Structure 1
Amino acid sequence: MSAIEFFVGLLVFWALVLLFRSYLAKKGFTVYPLLLMWRKETRTSWFPRVANSRTFKIFEVLAIVLAIVSMFGGIYLIMTALTSILTPSKPSAVKLEPIIPGVTVNIDQAPYILLSIGISVVLHELMHAISSTSNKIPVRSGGFILLFFFPGAFVEPEESQFKESPLSSKLKVISAGIAINLVLAGIFLPLAIYLPPILSQGILIEGTVPNTVAYNSSIHPGYVIESVNGIKVTTPTQLKNVLDSTTQYHLKLLTPNGVVNLNLTSPSHFLGVYITYYLPSYVSPFVTFFVWMFIVNFSLALLNGAPLIITDGGKIFTEILKKIHINENISMAIQGLLVLLLIIAISFSFIPQ
C-alpha cells in the first residue's frame, strides 16, 4: 500500500464516520472531525488483588522515582533538541520528529506503530486504574479514542476524591502510567538491540549514495551482501572490518534474480551503501515490533513525563508546586513555555539541516 492509498483510505473512513455520526452517538460514541471517542461508566475498582498486593505497592513507590526521572529526561530532550537548532555548528544527535507513517517513516511501518501505540496506551491507562484502586480512589469512567489514525485510551478517577487524597496517593496514581511505559521500554530495548545481530543472515542494502562505488556498479536497494572476499558478513561491524582490511572486494550478492558476484575496488574502503540487518521473513515482523515498542514507550515516557500542559508530568509538577505553596498559575506558565519550546523543536525537525 502506498502513502497516498493509506491517506485516501483514512479520509474515506472519516467521511463514513461523520456520515453515520447520529447512529454512532446512540452506541456511546462521540464524534468530532478526526476524533472518535467512546466513553463508558466503568467499575470503580480494577484488579483489587493486584492493586493491594505488596508487589504493586512497591511498584507505585518506584513509579514516582521513574516519573521524576522521566520528567527531567523529557526536559533534557527538549532542551537538547533546541540547542542543536540554536547552535547549528555543533549538531546534536537529538531531533524531535513526529512519527507519521507515510511522511516521516515508511508506510509499511504503520501496522507496527499503531499496534505498539495501542498496546502501550492501554497498559498506561490500566496502570492508572489499578493505582487508583490501590489508593482507594474510585474509577468513574474509561474509554477509547481514535485521533485521525492514532489509537488511545483513558480512565477517569473520581475527581473529588482524587483532589482530597494525600499528595503521595496523587503522585502514585499519576506516575503509574509513566512508569509502565519506561519499564516496557527497558524490556524491549535489549530485544531490539541484541536480537537483530544474532538472527541476521546478511547485510540488507536499503539505499546507495550517488557517485560511489556501489552506485556506479548498479547495486540496488533490496540486494543482500552475503559475503565479502569469501567471508560471511551478517552485521555492519563485520562488513566494516572486512572493508577496512583491503581495497579489493569480491562481493556475493543475493538479488531478486538470484546470486550475483561482483568485483569492486575502493581505495577509501567506502562502498556507499545504506545498510541494515537481513532477517528471515518469519523473524523480521517480530523484531520490527520490538523496535517500535521500545521507540513508542520511551517516547511516551519522556514526553508524557515532561511538565507540559495536559501531560502526566505536568500534573505531577503542579501537585508538587502546590504542596510547597507556589501558585498554580506559575506552574501553568512554566508548562506553557515548555510546550512552546517543544513546538519549535518539532517544527525545526522538518527543516533540512
Structure 2
Amino acid sequence: MNIGIPIAVMAMAFMVYTIIMSLQYMFEAPAAALLLPGVDIPGSPVFIPLVSGIIALILLMVVHEFGHGILARVDGVRIKSIGVILLAILPGAFVELEEEDVEKAKRSVKLRIYAAGSIFNMALAVIALVIVMVISSFFIPYAFEYEGIKITSVTSGGPAEGVLQEGMIVSSINGYPVNTKDEYTDLVLNKTKPGDKLTYVTDQGTYTITSTGQLSNESITYPGFRSETYFVVKPEVSRIYGDILPWFLYNVADIGQWVYALNLMVGLFNLLPIKPLDGGIIFEELLGYKLPEKFVTKIVSSVSIVLVGIVAFIIIYSIVPGIIQMVPGIIQMI
C-alpha cells in the first residue's frame, strides 16, 4: 500500500483529466452508463446482466470495504464493525473504523487506509482480466464454435420491440450471414443507415424492422436490441468433457469480464477528489501536509462542487433521454 498511495494519486489525476475532457465530446456523442445489473437504458453503451452483475458487485464491495478494514488492522486502527448487507437484490458492504484511532494516526497511515479500497479493486480487476484472457484465448476457441448471434435483450421503445424476442438466434441480416457479434456489429455500422429495413433470419422465423438512429448519435443505425455471439460446444469436446465443464468455464469468463470492468470503473471513480469519496479524503489529507485546515476545507469543497456538477451533467445529458424513452414501456407493464 506504500506503492498504492502514489498509484491512487496518479489515478486521481487521470480521472479528473478524463472527466473534464469528456465534456468536449458530450454534445457529439454522449455516452454514460448506469451501473445497475439488469437495467437496460436505451442509448446506454453498457448493459450489465443481472446475475453476472450482482456477483461482480458483491465482489467489488466486499473487496473494497475489507481492503479498508485489512489495512486499518495492519496499521493498528481498531474496527467498530464490518460486514455485508443486502438491499432488495442489490448487495452492499461496510466497515466502520474507530474514529479516535483514525484521528491519532499519522497521515501516511490514513492515506494507506483510504487508498486501500480502490487499490484492492484495481488488483481484483487485474486478476479477473488475466483469468478472462486465459479462458478466452485458449479454452473458448478450443471448446466452442460460433453459430450466429443470440439476442440477449430487446430495448423498451426500440425498433425491435414487439418483433424480435430475447433468446432468438440470428443467422443472417439482409442476406449477409453473421457468425459472431463482431461480424454483426461491422455489418450494421458499415452496410446500413438509420431508416433502413433490416431483415433478420432467426431460428424462429424471418422478421423485418425499420432501424432508427442511436440516441447518442443519430447517424448510426440503432436496431433496438443487444446481442452476443452464440456459442455451441464442439461435438468432439462434448464427448471428452461433457457440456458442464465447457459452459462452467465460459460463465466464469463472462462473470470475470464484469468483475474486471466494474472493479476498474468503480475503483477509479471512487478516487475522484470529491468528498465523501475516498479520493476526496485522500485529496484533503495530501493538502493538509502543507496548507492550514481552513484553506484545505475551502479547496476540497470547491473542487468537489465543480466535479459533482460535471458528473451530474454528463449523467443527466446522457442517460435521461434513454430513461424517458423507457417510461411508456414501464407504464404499460404496470
**TM class, shorter-chain normalised?**
0.5 to 0.7
Cα 1:324/1:182, change in 2 over 3 Å: same
Kindly indicate whether the alpha-carbon contact (under 8 Å) linking 1:305 and 1:313 is maintained by their aligned counterparts in 2.
yes
For 1:220 and 1:169, the matched residues in 2 are separated by 54
What fraction of aligned residue pairs are identical, expressed as a percent? 21
CA RMSD, Structure 1 to Structure 2 (Å): 4.2
Cα deviation for residue 141 of structure 1 reads: 1.8
Cα deviation for residue 181 of structure 1 reads: 0.7
2:276 alignment partner in structure 1: 310
Cα 1:96/1:236, change in 2 over 3 Å: closer
Cα 1:311/1:232, change in 2 over 3 Å: closer
For 1:148 and 1:308, the matched residues in 2 are separated by 28
Cα deviation for residue 173 of structure 1 reads: 0.9
2:29 alignment partner in structure 1: 91
Confirm whether residue 288 of structure 1 aligns to residue 229 of structure 2: no
Kindly indicate whether the alpha-carbon contact (under 8 Å) linking 1:226 and 1:234 is maintained by their aligned counterparts in 2.
no
User: What are structure 2's unaligned runs of at least 5 residues?
Assistant: 155-159, 191-200, 207-220, 233-242, 323-334
Cα 1:292/1:200, change in 2 over 3 Å: farther
Cα deviation for residue 191 of structure 1 reads: 4.4
Q: In the alignment, residue 308 of structure 1 is paired with which amino acid? A: I
Kindly indicate whether the alpha-carbon contact (under 8 Å) linking 2:273 and 2:279 is maintained by their aligned counterparts in 1.
yes
Q: In the alignment, residue 276 of structure 1 is paired with which amino acid? A: E
1:16 alignment partner in structure 2: none
Confirm whether residue 236 of structure 1 aligns to residue 182 of structure 2: yes
Confirm whether residue 277 of structure 1 aligns to residue 250 of structure 2: no
Confirm whether residue 334 of structure 1 aligns to residue 303 of structure 2: yes
Kindly indicate whether the alpha-carbon contact (under 8 Å) linking 2:172 and 2:202 is maintained by their aligned counterparts in 1.
no
Cα 1:76/1:97, change in 2 over 3 Å: farther
Give the secondary structure class of the aligned counterpart of 1:202.
Answer: strand
1:72 alignment partner in structure 2: 13
Q: TM-score, normalised by structure 2?
A: 0.64
Give the secondary structure class of the aligned counterpart of 2:16.
Answer: helix
User: What are structure 1's unaligned runs of at least 5 residues?
Assistant: 1-59, 209-214, 245-252, 261-269
2:318 alignment partner in structure 1: 349
Cα 1:324/1:96, change in 2 over 3 Å: farther
Confirm whether residue 120 of structure 1 aligns to residue 60 of structure 2: yes
Q: In the alignment, residue 139 of structure 1 is paired with which amino acid? A: I
Select 1:179's aligned residue among 100, 106, 119: 119
Q: In the alignment, residue 255 of structure 1 is paired with which amino acid? A: D
Kindly indicate whether the alpha-carbon contact (under 8 Å) linking 1:204 and 1:222 is maintained by their aligned counterparts in 2.
no
Residue by residue over 1:287-332, the C-alpha shift from the partner in whole angstroms, topping out at 9 and shown as x without a partner, is: 3312221221012111111111211111101100111215232212
Cα deviation for residue 254 of structure 1 reads: 7.0
Kindly indicate whether the alpha-carbon contact (under 8 Å) linking 1:123 and 1:180 is maintained by their aligned counterparts in 2.
yes
Select 1:135's aligned residue among 66, 75, 95: 75
Cα deviation for residue 237 of structure 1 reads: 5.6
Q: TM-score, normalised by structure 1?
A: 0.61
For 1:170 and 1:294, the matched residues in 2 are separated by 27
For 1:97 and 1:334, the matched residues in 2 are separated by 24
Q: In the alignment, residue 102 of structure 1 is paired with which amino acid? A: V
Kindly indicate whether the alpha-carbon contact (under 8 Å) linking 2:149 and 2:178 is maintained by their aligned counterparts in 1.
no
Residue by residue over 1:258-315, the C-alpha shift from the partner in whole angstroms, topping out at 9 and shown as x without a partner, is: xx9xxxxxxxxx9x89753223582553333122212210121111111112111111
